[in-house]
Structure 1
């Protein structure tokens, strides 16, 4: 992988545009398109449901399957890049993502929509660790901290922009144009990548062949997980479509980890995380990613079910989410080398804890400006912890093994993220039922009290969201502890090396 990365640095720019800006564009638009689709789908499910006449029981299927496909693709990316080379691999899976986007744009039902989202997921998942490490290496040393601004505004910003456009799709009552944007993005990536990525690459010399057993076990694990995750939300753990398949998936996952630990060329180099410094960074990144999923699921449900916000106010809400992410990008760019991943992780964790405290008791009487401020804080805090943890892990130890640590972290992070959403849906339904039974336990609700029953239902779902935000608070505390451990283990390497350090590394 490192040989593929270095080839980019040796290529002379054919135009006045610096190579690092070209690679940044290829990174943001290739990976960001998937993040854009994920968040936009969260917002516009109702529009798609009406447009394609989909049952509400099936609405989550495209999202679940796409996330699983992405999680499968992430560890496969570096292995395929070693086999095919950077340029071939990037162009091939950009075309794969393009095909998935076209299928989604022309979908006629849940089957075609799910197929398109799966193709998108596997394409962007493989592209993730194909192009992201190249992007970091392409930045000249003196301005390498600008990579932080690019990665936060580009990738986290794509998520925020997806949520914003998803809310706009509710206003326009149309959704196919969102996938059209994905088509345009992947076409631009293919055209620019075709002309600007290096044509002649040094042939990668693999120390040992790829362990095919690990590939088969990983694919089997993902396939086994698809069945229980697609049925969990509505059927629960007791369903015959959940617990048997979930048990098989856990067994296959254990076998995969065992085989991969023994392999000479592992898909996921778990052995690279063998000290406290990368482990603490991995916990920061994984838990902050989980926090973002939980926070968006909870606050979006609260806004739609309890606040009854207009589509315009919903758009404003996610605009301020984007503002918070941009603020985090500026802070990280200016302060990462000065304070290190641990200190910035602590600051971000404290912000998340503050927001979760507020949302644990959130009510419909909250003012919109205060709500906008809180979502901006959440975007800033979560992105600060996640990127601090990811970079802190990559830069913790032998720099030549940075790609191994990064691959392990992102594989774990995306696997957990892919499995989390169905559990959140199940938890919300479970807690909603519990709260509703508590509220109505001593009451007899007759036909004459329909309005009162609606109030009970809103109170019950609000209690479920409060429980979810309590979980967010717990995750914020875990992030804070992991960030503190990161401080104790040392600040780590800076992004921008001093001249003496560069001479020593050479």
Structure 2
């Protein structure tokens, strides 16, 4: 029955995607013809299909042929290929969250190490996204989809059969390469198809993919882990990836204009070394401490490489990532808020399964069901928030959304070993409502601020910052949890040893009544007490991480107050 339910959910998602796309293309233009001509030029095409009816039979007319030589293509088929690929890549990002405690046991690794499953995958995404901007203009969308789906499918297979954690992480990196290509490619195609005044609802529809996958991910993952094995989470992705690859072979065309820019080799080197070193240093701080020479070395190298990357991108003729997009005020504000929201969102998805399963003893399926209502709400609110943005702009949505997110995150700082399951579910759902109000409108507002010739760089920047902030933010908050847990454990242990000998006596007497010797009773009593101490220390460590997340959410509220009421799309100078 559960499998059948998820089949119906998936089919409902596909139907909803088709309905939304069809409605978007049937909507009549309300702007003047002269505005249509200027606004509907695609980001990377000579002319675009946005001004033509959009149905399953839509073919690109002769006046919309790109410089790649393609005579015509079916827009809907291309979007299906890209959205299905994006769906499974995002699903994979959240599918294994509830399996993290089981992986910790199977691979015998700590929380600081296991978080590389999430942060390593996101970091590879972040490094690949700006490089993908170059690849889209040099290789073509058809070949990129082939590479992405082959990489993602192969990586899933490696993860499924991995005997050790290093082999598993190799598979995650291969997966991340594919996912890092798909998302910016999908976004650029959407920007090419839809004019600025329709992008709020259009990107809201794309947001269905971005939040529907996390909606079913934790619940489906929990059921699989509880019923079968976490390895099935990855082996099941192989046939889906193969299906999308098959659809790409028969449907995908090169729809983006090829300009063949020069590849910024040093920019790619500096960004990869910088981001990789920073993430490794932050992650290892949880195991080795912030004062470790290894941690300090990697953090220093990372910061230095990032500074070199910034200098390089401002001086080179063909930058890998054009940082001049930051001179546009609204874009910069939305990037800051986007980084904060992503950090806060992914941190909770990492911390809550540890609390629910390792501390409270809930099953993976119960953990998944707790996250399901909030994720479904985000899927429902995506198009709605996009439509509201088209009417009133970003500022109200951003202020209300960040306020709700900050308040709900603060409530997670009060977790105990007796917090009711229903209360956690309600808080997570309310928190998801706040995130859903701002997630997709942020990208729409930021990209509408940019001239069209910078849209591809703006898209790359948004996706890069989302992945980097998610990976670094998760690593930092998990490191804080591990560090604070160690401190709390030491504090509680010293208190018990020095001040509460009566507790040990009472436990010894109690266990002796069970027919055990006093010596055995004392040993078992100590084990019981230190088990409770470890549990309480971990809860306090998680609470401390949520305190930091709350502060970040409040910081994100500040730039939201300075956003203009509405952000209009810019046009390139004549």
TM-score by length of 2: 0.78
Larger Rg: 2
Question: SS in structure 1 opposite 2:321?
Answer: coil
Give the equivalent residue in structure 1 for 2:182.
127
Q: Give yes or no for contact 2:84–2:244 (8 Å, CA) kept in 1.
A: yes
In structure 2, runs of 5+ residues without a counterpart are 1-41, 60-73, 505-521
Give the equivalent residue in structure 2 for 1:329.
382
Task: Give the C-alpha shift of residue 64 in structure 1.
Answer: 3.7
Question: SS in structure 2 opposite 1:443?
Answer: helix
Task: Give the C-alpha shift of residue 61 in structure 1.
Answer: 4.0
Give the equivalent residue in structure 1 for 2:242.
187
Q: Give yes or no for contact 1:214–1:266 (8 Å, CA) kept in 2.
A: yes
User: Could you tell me how far apart the structure 2 residues matched to 1:78 and 1:383 are?
Assistant: 27
Task: Give the C-alpha shift of residue 326 in structure 1.
Answer: 2.2
Q: What's the CA shift string for 1:144-184, capped at 9, x where partnerless?
A: 54423322221122223222222223311412322133223
Q: Give yes or no for contact 1:101–1:116 (8 Å, CA) kept in 2.
A: yes
Give the equivalent residue in structure 1 for 2:91.
36
Task: Give the C-alpha shift of residue 328 in structure 1.
Answer: 2.3
Indicate whether 1:491 and 2:562 are aligned: no
Change (3 A) 1:5 1:291: farther
Change (3 A) 1:13 1:357: closer
Which among 148, 152, 157 is matched to residue 93 of structure 1? Answer: 148
Change (3 A) 1:99 1:12: farther
Change (3 A) 1:217 1:380: same
Change (3 A) 1:136 1:364: farther
- Larger mean Cα displacement after TM superposition, 6-15 or 54-63: 6-15
In structure 1, runs of 5+ residues without a counterpart are 495-500
Which among 116, 119, 123 is matched to residue 68 of structure 1? Answer: 123
Give the equivalent residue in structure 2 for 1:266.
319
User: Could you tell me how far apart the structure 1 residues matched to 2:368 and 2:119 are?
Assistant: 25
Change (3 A) 1:326 1:14: closer
Which among 207, 211, 234 is matched to residue 152 of structure 1? Answer: 207
Give the equivalent residue in structure 2 for 1:22.
77
Q: Give yes or no for contact 2:267–2:320 (8 Å, CA) kept in 1.
A: yes
Q: Give yes or no for contact 2:159–2:168 (8 Å, CA) kept in 1.
A: yes
Q: Give yes or no for contact 1:341–1:391 (8 Å, CA) kept in 2.
A: no
Question: SS in structure 2 opposite 1:265?
Answer: coil
Give the equivalent residue in structure 1 for 2:258.
204
User: Could you tell me how far apart the structure 2 residues matched to 1:110 and 1:78 are?
Assistant: 31
User: Could you tell me how far apart the structure 2 residues matched to 1:49 and 1:8 are?
Assistant: 49
Change (3 A) 1:102 1:453: closer
Change (3 A) 1:362 1:413: same
Which among 272, 285, 289 is matched to residue 232 of structure 1? Answer: 285
Which among 234, 245, 266 is matched to residue 298 of structure 2? Answer: 245
Q: Give yes or no for contact 2:134–2:320 (8 Å, CA) kept in 1.
A: yes
User: Could you tell me how far apart the structure 2 residues matched to 1:313 and 1:64 are?
Assistant: 24
Q: How many residues align?
A: 494
User: Could you tell me how far apart the structure 1 residues matched to 2:77 and 2:151 are?
Assistant: 21
Indicate whether 1:479 and 2:526 are aligned: no
Change (3 A) 1:469 1:155: same
Task: Give the C-alpha shift of residue 143 in structure 1.
Answer: 6.0
User: Could you tell me how far apart the structure 2 residues matched to 1:467 and 1:54 are?
Assistant: 25
| Residues 448-487 of structure 1 aligned to structure 2 (within 5 Å) | 448-486=525-563
Change (3 A) 1:146 1:21: farther
Question: SS in structure 1 opposite 2:84?
Answer: helix
Change (3 A) 1:17 1:45: farther
Q: What's the CA shift string for 1:51-80, capped at 9, x where partnerless?
A: 5x5444753444443222111111111101
Task: Give the C-alpha shift of residue 372 in structure 1.
Answer: 1.9
Change (3 A) 1:363 1:45: closer
Q: Give yes or no for contact 2:119–2:470 (8 Å, CA) kept in 1.
A: no
User: Could you tell me how far apart the structure 2 residues matched to 1:138 and 1:326 are?
Assistant: 22
- Larger mean Cα displacement after TM superposition, 42-51 or 262-271: 42-51
Question: SS in structure 2 opposite 1:210?
Answer: coil
Indicate whether 1:113 and 2:154 are aligned: no
Give the equivalent residue in structure 1 for 2:488.
435
RMSD (Å), alpha carbons: 3.1
Change (3 A) 1:162 1:312: closer
Question: SS in structure 2 opposite 1:358?
Answer: helix
Task: Give the C-alpha shift of residue 139 in structure 1.
Answer: 4.4
Indicate whether 1:339 and 2:380 are aligned: no
- Larger mean Cα displacement after TM superposition, 218-227 or 89-98: 218-227
